[in-house]
Amino acid sequence: MAATIVETAPLVLNVGVVLLAAATMGFVARKFGLPAVFGYIFTGLLVSPFTPGFVADNNQLSLLADIGVVLLLFEVGIEIDLKRMSRENRSILWGAPAQILIGVLIGTPVFLWLEIPIFGALLLALSIAISSSVVIVNITRSPRRTTNTSTESAMLGWAIVQDIVGVAVAVIILTAFGESEKSLPVAFGGLFGFVLLAYAGSKLLPKLLKMVRWERDLFLIYSVSIGLVLAAIGTVVFGIPMALAAFIAGLAINQNQDTDEVRKAILPFRDLFAVLFFVVIGTLIQPAQLEKAWPFAALVLLLVVTSKTIPTIFLVKIGKLNVQKVKFGVGISQIGEFSFVLGSIAFAQKAITSSQYTGLLLAVVISIVASSLLVRKVEKSPKIKN
């Protein structure tokens, strides 16, 4: 037993030091009027193998970060009311896919012009077209937000539709141009099979939660474990990205009366582990590559504005969404977790260079910070609905 404690102590120290540093950097960032996310990413840079000093175990952090993203999207899936969204903001259901299509059509030729293979060009264009659900959730729940309720609801709905469409498009790209061994029918069959499993779970879960409703510890354990198990099954058995599987699972069970309690039970764990996602991004940035990476990062940010921000504002106007239009466009103008995954796949399959990958990471960081700050400033309303 003593030997086991000695062996695991460095791992515990690793997580403890990183979380302590992230909390401190997040606090400092907020004191300077920056989003805490900037502090978390900067923490990752400090504990990365590319900078002197303490080096964190990146594999361990990545595991915990994955848990955080799974719990976040599981909770978002629980909270999103698709029936209300289709009734009140029906144009989201065609607006978000149209925005992704515009982004891919604009971005792909640009990356092909840079002599990036078609596989990498498509993945990069898609990654830019998709926003960060994690960041948008933080924007809509920030105490400094200046968005109204309808804008916040629409932003979340837009991001979720982006995720659903984006994963479907990614499946096509990976199957048609990547190194995937699955055929397209098999890939989509796995997605459909998991949806059926999540639906079956939505029928069984209310009965289980009803049995332990007054047992707070058991209710908490079931709430967290169900999200993790369903997400893992989606990946291991059906080949679906865990983040999407978690969202589908949350969406499937969001109609029963105990789901609000489930959401509240998950929140502390989600917030704790989701911090590590941003830390992991920081650990991957190589300072030695920055000089070569800046031009590519600038190009990616320019594409974010031209292929996502501006088209989104026009689509919102055409769709007559009851939102703060410019604020809405700025609020979704970042690239985040799913984009990071797609870029990592392109880099792993050598479709983009190391400096281009670093440039993409820089663009992720800058776009997250910029959208989080600018969304508070533009199109302010005198009264905010809470």
* pLDDT range class, residue 17, cuts 50, 70, 90: confident
Question: What's the pLDDT band for 382 if we cut at 50, 70, 90?
Answer: very low
pLDDT in tens, 148-207: 888 888 888 888 788 778 877 887 887 777 666 666 677 677 777 877 877 777 777 777
Query: What's 152's domain CATH number?
Result: 1.20.1530.20
Amino acid at 359: G
Ordered DSSP codes for 318-330? HHT-SS-HHHHHH
The answer to the question of residue 41 being in a domain is no
On average, the pLDDT of the chain sits at 80
Model pTM?
A: 0.80
Q: Per the domain annotation, does 260 fall within a domain? A: yes
State how far the Cα of 111 lies from the Cα of 118, in Å rounded to an integer: 8
Do the beta carbons of residue 307 and residue 129 sit within 8 Å?
yes
User: Closest Cα partner for 375 from 139, 39, 141?
Assistant: 139
Residue 256: inside a domain: yes
Q: Is residue 23 part of a domain?
A: no
Single-letter amino acid, residue 100: I
pLDDT in tens, 117-137: 999 999 999 999 999 877 887
- At residue 224's C-alpha, the angle toward residues 240 and 265, to 5°, is 130
Structure tokens at 242: 């865990």
| Token pair for 78 | 């629980």
User: What single-letter DSSP state applies at residue 305?
Assistant: I
Is residue 316 a contact partner of residue 325, using CB atoms and an 8 Å limit? yes
Amino acid code (one letter) for 234: G
Whether residue 48 is contained in a domain is answered as no
- Domain assignment present for residue 176? The answer is yes
Give per-residue pLDDT as tens, 285-320.
888 888 889 999 999 999 999 999 999 999 999 988
Q: Is residue 239 part of a domain?
A: yes
Q: In this structure, how many other beta carbons lie within 10 angstroms of the beta carbon of residue 310?
A: 14
> What pLDDT digit, counting tens, does each position of 76-106 carry?
777 666 666 666 567 888 999 999 999 999 9
Portion of the chain with pLDDT greater than 70, in percent: 83
Closest CA to 138 of 39, 260, 66, 252: 39
* Residue-range definition of the domain harbouring residue 100: 67-133+145-278+290-377
pLDDT value of residue 296: 94
Q: Is residue 47 part of a domain?
A: no
- Count of H-run helices and E-run strands, the chain: 17, 0
d(CA 54, CA 44): 11
The tally of domains found in the chain comes to: 1
